[in-house]
Structure 1
């Protein structure tokens, strides 16, 4: 019976060779860079200090000219190498090399899975006693499709002189070379494009290793048997820090040698921008998750911060998101999940996709390997499914009526819901992001979204209206306070209101006050989170009528954000949609006032409200008309 069910020719295999090949190929790697990261994981686990990545291209005749396309990718390291048994096991799917949680790659899937997602043949040379004594084996999808179900026995084979000759450093006593050929799924065609697109992601995934000098990763495009020369030749993978706190990084100037962000205060004076969150496991143990948070320094978003001018190459009239460093930050949006110093994923599901401000905050969640199952780490180490599922967790929608949060969590725990251990962390992150977004809104008063000129026009028109009414004998509290206050007192009063009442950073507040005094502006519009049901509040200051729009009120997101937070590349259809939404919101606002009058039971009180409405209409006419209309 044994021969009848195990023979190569039977038609009753649980998994057919063709299905096996498809499973190997469709392993879910986002692109070539993520697949390459698996090989670099192995190099770091092998204690390599230098990893070299080669992309070799060869010519082919295009429709009108000769072009070049990548036909080989190789990763060469100086790690401790593998013996015959370990080498063979390394090419076996799910072997169990990953039993050691101290490894970056612990699932025993990385080398074969990542390789076959990009190519049809992977070859491996590894040595522990000089490259001349290397062992060699391979996987070939064509052979597997034809029925091969074992990894070829490694045989002695010297490292090919071709790759030896390309190495910038002499091959060490030990090391490993992995070569991909028949590259039928590489996303990018040319060697330069392949490595450029790879370097930024590799720099982010291994930023902590690169910063600490634990490993050096070099990349080189190869043509005609040699590494290209000059700026197109060898280059290092630089740290790419989505928190932008590293002094030396691959961020564009002027933030390549100084942090672009600063730690966001989470209450710890000893560790600014750091919070340690305990996570329990089903076996009763607790492990610590470290949360790090940062937001942009004002000079990253404003060209007028004293002592921090933008470089001459930047356009001060363009939105900061369109500057080179802003575009860099746009590619690093999300919460960075880090396991043993290696980034698993930059989870953008926690960001508000349409909001350009999302690029200006950074959050890193660093967790130990013991929490892999809790976070839902996938075998290709590209995401943590349970953690990602909590980005839009809605407590109100999932809780039963009258159920307390504790009872809700107890119920989830009883049902074995995999999200339950991370609910506290998710709630903490949600509140943290709200605070960071509020802070970021304060940074760009008077310059937000590149609409400074428009804001100044509105401020000037409102100021003219205030002055006209004053000249006509209508005196306000701000006018009386101005007569009783010196310029220095006026300045300090405005600074105090901005920094203490509305939590504007000191540099921005100073700029706003200087600008107002220089132009003799009598009004100021700001957005500020307020614990009030009013959608705006008023500060009556000496010579300054300050209106603060409540960012916590639904009108802010339904009206102001719709009109102001418009991407510069928004399509005509999107603009029309935004205008329609704003019009709808404005009409609902007026209806809400009408209903308020409708529900006032006293005729006398209704007359008072109706008179106030008429008075507001007259004031609106005075402010909207600029005083130049002909009688």
Structure 2
């Protein structure tokens, strides 16, 4: 090629490769996933990932073994010379097979060059001794190499044949050497940090459900030191962020049984599943939404028949148990394309709220919707979908504009968000709020300490008992005298389950504990379609106070004080206290203004008397003193 010709190139090969190296793989595990994609597309049923380290040589500065090479070997169908050469070109996609995970033709060279300076590839269709070999070298590209070297016959090196447990008559081996961007130091650490992500990305292939249409694939992680396999070899276990799969990497007691249950949506034959048609470019495609929430036993240690492990501290919140910490690492909406997870999108979660770890949502879409979702070429995220996580159509709507009219206007403008608007609205406005409400109700009565350690409940109970002894009986006391014990129990269970949507196991556990301890007051939060910020249930022997979680006072006062993030900094705690104090002042200001706006003197006097009466009751409950009589 002449100097004149090279001077007018649209792009420079060496600069292009440099830019591709920096295109953004989150870590080594995501880069390895690109190679596993290729293996699955090649119909492999075994993929082996080798992380190879060597002991330091005399005179070297480091003292610990350091990872030198990473290799991925599969028993797929292999490649001929032309396909192998094209596989190492940037942006040479291999056809439009709708069942393939890959599409952009970037995976092998892009992921490899992001982690190393040299990648070698062997591929064979008639025995590993007849393999074809070619490579990419960053140093050679920087020195002017334009073309992928023509493949040559070269048998797969003996070291890889000896390490493999499933070397097939056909297959492919990719070897990264001259590593310089691998995040972890040793072989075992590299694979340990890789397993959880790889298990989540390929969970539908590691454990394909009946009727899923996915082939079963085993992924083997193998740490190697000085050419020999060392301790830590293991198959990748599925990591299901919906926690509906048995036999996963979730810590006990949920390693062999589901930790979550399907959320109450869809139909009886396929619970927890909703199908949503999405139209793009004139074609309609099916998107599958799956949802799950934690089983009560994941969050409560006293669920009958489901004890926590003996080594679990029952005085520690479930989110701090090993399985709770595992769930914290899986917060977000799992975006799945062709059965392969692109991203666990945390944008849809409320970061400070501990309840977020106890739900799971999966959005599964076909590759024909790549452009609609905004799938990136490294298959790590979908930009259009992520951008809608905090979408507020009312903030963008014109005055008086309906949701349909708003969408029609987006359609006229050719807004790229339009195909996903209904999906985003469903997730934001219907599904996630419903799941959060049910999860909060699930924890009613669950406590890290025993009930007698609940200071507010104790003091309220003492005040009620004191007033009863003084002969000042309430409606709950009178009903208690007239009601049989079993009827009283059933009334309380029914109130919790039917009116406040608490699951039956939790309700029964809560009521039985309160009856055994002669507790006569109960505080819960519940979603109420009412402008009141709290309500009361007067039942036999039980005064139940319900704080309306649908009222902004719950968000700005109760949640601020109770839903405190783990390990919150002092400044953040001070900000929360200040926010709660301001909210309480606004609450009193709102009462004062209510009195101010009452037109009649008699009615205003009654409200004033009610305020004074409430003050006397408050003094009795807080200080144990009542100067009413």
Residues 476 and 538 in structure 2, CA contact (< 8 A), matched pair in contact too: yes
- Tell me how far 1:63 sits from its aligned partner: 10
**What is the aligned partner in structure 1 of residue 77 from structure 2?**
80
Equivalences for 1:424-443 in 2 at 5 Å?
A: 424-430=422-428, 431-443=430-442
Residues 243 and 258 in structure 2, CA contact (< 8 A), matched pair in contact too: yes
> 1:582–1:98: structure 2 CA closer, same or farther, 3 Å change rule?
farther
Residues 17 and 146 in structure 1, CA contact (< 8 A), matched pair in contact too: no
Equivalences for 1:107-122 in 2 at 5 Å?
A: 107-122=104-119
- Tell me how far 1:446 sits from its aligned partner: 2.2
1:58 aligns to 2:54 (yes or no): yes
Residues 452 and 458 in structure 2, CA contact (< 8 A), matched pair in contact too: no
Using the alignment, how far apart are the partners of 2:622 and 2:113 within structure 1? 66
> 1:454–1:460: structure 2 CA closer, same or farther, 3 Å change rule?
closer
Q: Select 1:315's aligned residue among 310, 313, 316.
A: 313
Q: C-alpha deviations, 1:51-93, integer Å up to 9, x for none?
A: 0000011233899972111110000000000000000000001
> 1:599–1:627: structure 2 CA closer, same or farther, 3 Å change rule?
closer
**What is the aligned partner in structure 1 of residue 219 from structure 2?**
217
> 1:526–1:204: structure 2 CA closer, same or farther, 3 Å change rule?
same
- Tell me how far 1:453 sits from its aligned partner: 5.0
Equivalences for 1:80-479 in 2 at 5 Å?
A: 80-169=77-166, 171-212=167-208, 214-228=216-230, 232-283=231-282, 285-430=283-428, 431-448=430-447, 450=448, 456-479=454-477
Using the alignment, how far apart are the partners of 2:237 and 2:196 within structure 1? 8
Q: C-alpha deviations, 1:588-621, integer Å up to 9, x for none?
A: 1111111111111222221111111100000000
> 1:98–1:377: structure 2 CA closer, same or farther, 3 Å change rule?
farther
Residues 347 and 386 in structure 2, CA contact (< 8 A), matched pair in contact too: yes
Using the alignment, how far apart are the partners of 1:543 and 1:620 within structure 2? 21
1:40 aligns to 2:36 (yes or no): yes
Q: C-alpha deviations, 1:510-534, integer Å up to 9, x for none?
A: 0110011011111000000000000
Residues 532 and 548 in structure 2, CA contact (< 8 A), matched pair in contact too: yes
Using the alignment, how far apart are the partners of 1:48 and 1:493 within structure 2? 59
> 1:572–1:469: structure 2 CA closer, same or farther, 3 Å change rule?
same
Q: Select 1:30's aligned residue among 26, 29, 41.
A: 26
Using the alignment, how far apart are the partners of 1:628 and 1:362 within structure 2? 50
> What secondary structure does 1:533 align onto?
coil
- Tell me how far 1:4 sits from its aligned partner: 5.1
> What secondary structure does 1:67 align onto?
coil
> What secondary structure does 2:267 align onto?
coil
Using the alignment, how far apart are the partners of 1:3 and 1:18 within structure 2? 17
> 1:296–1:185: structure 2 CA closer, same or farther, 3 Å change rule?
same
Q: C-alpha deviations, 1:28-66, integer Å up to 9, x for none?
A: 111000000000000000000110000011233899972
- Tell me how far 1:97 sits from its aligned partner: 1.4
Residues 376 and 382 in structure 2, CA contact (< 8 A), matched pair in contact too: yes
- Tell me how far 1:145 sits from its aligned partner: 1.2
- Tell me how far 1:482 sits from its aligned partner: 0.8
**What is the aligned partner in structure 2 of residue 534 from structure 1?**
532
> What secondary structure does 2:289 align onto?
strand
Residues 73 and 174 in structure 2, CA contact (< 8 A), matched pair in contact too: yes
> What secondary structure does 2:315 align onto?
coil
Residues 617 and 626 in structure 2, CA contact (< 8 A), matched pair in contact too: no
> What secondary structure does 1:122 align onto?
strand
> What secondary structure does 1:60 align onto?
coil
> What secondary structure does 2:334 align onto?
strand
Q: Select 1:67's aligned residue among 61, 64, 75.
A: 64
Q: Select 1:21's aligned residue among 17, 20, 26.
A: 17
- Tell me how far 1:21 sits from its aligned partner: 2.9
> 1:571–1:401: structure 2 CA closer, same or farther, 3 Å change rule?
same
Aligned length: 620
**What is the aligned partner in structure 2 of residue 494 from structure 1?**
492
Using the alignment, how far apart are the partners of 1:382 and 1:375 within structure 2? 12
Using the alignment, how far apart are the partners of 1:594 and 1:482 within structure 2? 36
Using the alignment, how far apart are the partners of 2:532 and 2:34 within structure 1? 54
- Tell me how far 1:19 sits from its aligned partner: 2.2
- Tell me how far 1:580 sits from its aligned partner: 1.1
- Structure 1, gaps ≥5 residues long: none
> 1:455–1:354: structure 2 CA closer, same or farther, 3 Å change rule?
farther
> 1:312–1:36: structure 2 CA closer, same or farther, 3 Å change rule?
same
> 1:521–1:73: structure 2 CA closer, same or farther, 3 Å change rule?
same
> 1:569–1:98: structure 2 CA closer, same or farther, 3 Å change rule?
farther
> 1:65–1:4: structure 2 CA closer, same or farther, 3 Å change rule?
closer
Residues 315 and 449 in structure 2, CA contact (< 8 A), matched pair in contact too: no
> What secondary structure does 2:591 align onto?
helix
Q: C-alpha deviations, 1:105-150, integer Å up to 9, x for none?
A: 1111100011111111111000001111100001111111112121
Using the alignment, how far apart are the partners of 2:127 and 2:411 within structure 1? 55
> What secondary structure does 1:592 align onto?
helix
Using the alignment, how far apart are the partners of 1:22 and 1:594 within structure 2? 67
Residues 446 and 452 in structure 1, CA contact (< 8 A), matched pair in contact too: no
- Tell me how far 1:182 sits from its aligned partner: 1.1
- Tell me how far 1:192 sits from its aligned partner: 0.6
TM-score (norm 1): 0.96
Using the alignment, how far apart are the partners of 1:3 and 1:38 within structure 2? 36
Residues 223 and 233 in structure 2, CA contact (< 8 A), matched pair in contact too: yes
Residues 441 and 526 in structure 2, CA contact (< 8 A), matched pair in contact too: yes
Q: C-alpha deviations, 1:527-564, integer Å up to 9, x for none?
A: 00000000101111111110000001011111101111
**What is the aligned partner in structure 1 of residue 211 from structure 2?**
none
Using the alignment, how far apart are the partners of 2:40 and 2:464 within structure 1? 67
- Structure 2, gaps ≥5 residues long: 209-214
> 1:377–1:617: structure 2 CA closer, same or farther, 3 Å change rule?
same
Q: C-alpha deviations, 1:303-350, integer Å up to 9, x for none?
A: 000110101011111010111111111111111111111111111110
Using the alignment, how far apart are the partners of 2:454 and 2:238 within structure 1? 40
